[in-house]
Structure 1
Amino acid sequence: MAFIDGIKRQLRSVIEWKNPHPDALLVQWTENGDEIKNASKLIVGPGQGCIFVYEGKVQAVIDEQCLIDLESDNIPFWTTIKKFMQFFESEHKVGIYFYRKNKILDQKWGTLSPIKYDDPKYKFPVGLKAFGNYSYLVHDPKAFFVSVVGSHNEFYIDDFRRVMSARIIDPISDYLAESRYSYAEIDANREEIGRGISIKLSIAFRKLGFDITDFRIEGTDFDEDTLKRINRIADLSAEAQAAQAVGLDYVKVQHLEAMREAARNESGGAGMGMGLGAGIGFGQSMAQSMADTPSASTTQSDDDPMAKLAQLKKMFEAELISAAEYAAKKKDILDKL
């Protein structure tokens, strides 16, 4: 069988990339120098390119569809190779690699770990996760072979995806640091952010021989620690707006809430009394706060019971006081009429 295989190799006359795998970006045509030496024609099909490597160095790149007669066409690099390919033996390494020229469309990307940067507005660390898609093609086959392929004899779409995943974090981190978008502005500016990141990725991958196109961000999310901080900010903002709506100073509202929590956390018989005392103190503090806080309407008097009842109702609807506290204070105001 070995003898027959040897004869078949010697009878081979055409070098071409037949029926390439749909996910193949680059494949070495042969590892046997005899097959290369005996070939009489080279065919480069549609959407293909061909790289000639001699002793580990790229000697020539054919990037157009063509048919070359290796026996008669005057091709300098081929003449150089043939000089070292005598009698079906050679100590020199010759390789022919076919690569895919057409664009690879709609490839998915996602951050393997959260992208860390400091929020420029709220001054806390953000962990951003993102995903999307992109397209690419081999732009510089020589740089691709030298910088990425190396000693491998094949390279597939999955191999490029791993390269992308390893290199995408730094460009995104750099762009977010430079653009100074707060966490709340990320989704609203996804297209602009995607364009900015695409420019940085294109610069980085051009050095590897690739052209990145159609880079898009489809969605974003935050890590658990960031979500906790965001939710806390949302709660504080809602409380501040509620206090402002009823004409209260937010600092006083926080003080009253702390007193209420102290009353809630008491336990046991003595605690019930202490809780009751704290509740009374809370009601008194609430009344004092209402008395000290300017009314939303400067035309109403502090002694106007209607104004006090209206303000009290707003506080109850904003959940700044409980139903029991609302009822007790309302009764107190009505009893004074």
Structure 2
Amino acid sequence: MGFFKNQFSNVVEWEEFRDDMIFWKWSNREIKKGSKLIIRSGQDAIFMNNGKIEGIFEDEGEYNIDSDIIPFLSTLKGFKFGFNSGMRVEVLFVNTKEFTVRWGTQNPVLIPTPQLPGGMPIRANGTFNFKVNDYVTLIDKIAGIKDSYLVEDLKLRITAVLDQLLMKWISKEGKDMFNLQANAFEIAKGIREDLDMEVMGHGMTITGFQVMSFNYPQEIQDMITKTASHEMIGNLQKYQQVSMTDAMSSGKLQGGGAASDMAGMMMGMNMANEMMKNMNQNQKPQSQPQKESEPSDSAASQGGKKLNFCPNCGAKNEGANFCPNCGQKLN
């Protein structure tokens, strides 16, 4: 008897476990008397009969199906193992962890914008998180017809609608096409809500969605960088000076000749002029001592200077100390 008992014993466990597998079905086999059920960490075991859930077991460990499992199954509590026959059921193992998946646009998404008639071609990348949350829906929509389901299977479904969602949420409320990163959180929040509705009908939920970066075509990125340079420099004259310096240091003005010499001369003159302006602006005007008020004619006459005319008779004075006409003192 012991020989036959060991021969009929089974081990029901997730035999093809992978980190990127969402569920795996143990099916088309009989569970014999004396079989064991093994549930590992991060797994749930769902017993099904004729496509219906009989019982869900969540705690990890090793269980005897005769005594630990059968008594808890909804419609198979009275099942008795025969000597030569077993119980034919399906056991669905579900990965209960939260998955993190990287995503990226396959092709540029053309976002309508007035600046570009054909639309702004934008690429984006990031991550999203999901997990299984509804076993009944999962079995009804997917597990009922599939033996396993991978993260890549769900990713294909997500990326199929992601371009349209990016276009929707980037265009919404007139986002700044040249500074999308500033609105990345708001855009990602809207996309997460829409994606959650998309996968909810398959027994899963989107627990997070992140946009790591938006990528512009090289021509657009160069224009954004140049515009930012203008803003940082402040005015066109300084930008021209920096551009000329960059050109000379990069070798674009090498080779001598009149053009190169003239460029160097202009750059030197402009730099010298700017240095002189800065020096003049930084120098504070020195306070000058207040000039003493010059004496008036009357004060001059009283301060000992000789008068040109006699104040008494009006006769012209030739430098004498006394008026030659009336004898008036003149100093």
TM interval, shorter chain, is 0.5 to 0.7
In the alignment, what sits opposite 1:10?
A: 8
Change (3 A) 1:179 1:38: farther
Which of 25, 29, 37 does residue 26 from structure 2 map onto?
A: 29
In the alignment, what sits opposite 2:169?
A: 175
Q: Distance in 2 between matches of 1:45 and 1:206?
A: 26
Q: Deviations over 1:201-240 (max 9, x none)?
A: 223223322232342111222468xx57x8899999x9xx
Query: Do the aligned residues in 2 keep the contact of 1:61 with 1:142 (CA within 8 Å)?
Result: no
User: How many residues align structurally?
Assistant: 230
Q: Deviations over 1:253-285 (max 9, x none)?
A: xxxxxxxxxxxxxxxxxxxxxxxxxxxxxxxxx
* 2:125 paired with 1:131: yes
* One-letter identity of the residue aligned with 1:103: E
Change (3 A) 1:196 1:120: farther
SS at match of 1:219: strand
SS at match of 1:183: coil
1:1-337 aligned within 5 A: 10-12=8-10, 14-17=11-14, 20-32=17-29, 34=30, 36-38=31-33, 40-65=35-60, 68-73=63-68, 74-77=71-74, 79=76, 82=79, 88=85, 94-105=89-100, 107-119=101-113, 125-222=119-216
Q: Distance in 2 between matches of 1:85 and 1:223?
A: 70
Query: Do the aligned residues in 1 keep the contact of 2:34 with 2:64 (CA within 8 Å)?
Result: no
Query: Do the aligned residues in 1 keep the contact of 2:46 with 2:93 (CA within 8 Å)?
Result: yes
Change (3 A) 1:112 1:40: same
In the alignment, what sits opposite 1:273?
A: none
Query: Which TM-score applies when normalising by structure 2?
Result: 0.55
Q: Distance in 1 between matches of 2:217 and 2:7?
A: 58
SS at match of 2:17: coil
User: Is the helix fraction higher in 1 or 2?
Assistant: 1
SS at match of 2:211: strand
Identity, in percent, stands at 21
TM-aligned CA deviation for residue 130 of structure 1: 0.8
Which stretch has the larger CA shift, 140-149 or 79-88? 79-88
Q: Distance in 2 between matches of 1:173 and 1:64?
A: 44
Change (3 A) 1:43 1:115: same
* One-letter identity of the residue aligned with 2:106: L
TM-aligned CA deviation for residue 101 of structure 1: 0.6
* One-letter identity of the residue aligned with 1:51: I
Query: Do the aligned residues in 2 keep the contact of 1:81 with 1:94 (CA within 8 Å)?
Result: no
Query: Do the aligned residues in 2 keep the contact of 1:198 with 1:212 (CA within 8 Å)?
Result: yes
Change (3 A) 1:38 1:112: farther
* One-letter identity of the residue aligned with 2:215: D
Query: Do the aligned residues in 2 keep the contact of 1:53 with 1:96 (CA within 8 Å)?
Result: yes
Q: Deviations over 1:259-318 (max 9, x none)?
A: xxxxxxxxxxxxxxxxxxxxxxxxxxxxxxxxxxxxxxxxxxxxxxxxxxxxxx9xxx9x
Query: Which TM-score applies when normalising by structure 1?
Result: 0.54
SS at match of 1:201: helix
Q: Which runs of 5+ in 1 are unaligned?
A: 1-5, 239-243, 247-312, 318-337
Change (3 A) 1:141 1:39: farther
TM-aligned CA deviation for residue 152 of structure 1: 1.7
Q: Which runs of 5+ in 2 are unaligned?
A: 230-234, 238-265, 271-331
Q: Distance in 2 between matches of 1:81 and 1:20?
A: 32
Q: Distance in 2 between matches of 1:55 and 1:196?
A: 40
Runs of 4+ in structure 1 deviating by more than 6 angstroms, as ranges, are 6-9, 83-86, 120-123, 230-236
Q: Distance in 2 between matches of 1:81 and 1:133?
A: 48
* One-letter identity of the residue aligned with 2:43: Q
Q: Deviations over 1:73-122 (max 9, x none)?
A: 522436179489995378xx7321111111223x2101223334322777
* RMSD of aligned residue pairs (Cα, Å): 4.2
Query: Do the aligned residues in 1 keep the contact of 2:126 with 2:210 (CA within 8 Å)?
Result: yes
Change (3 A) 1:63 1:7: closer
SS at match of 1:72: helix
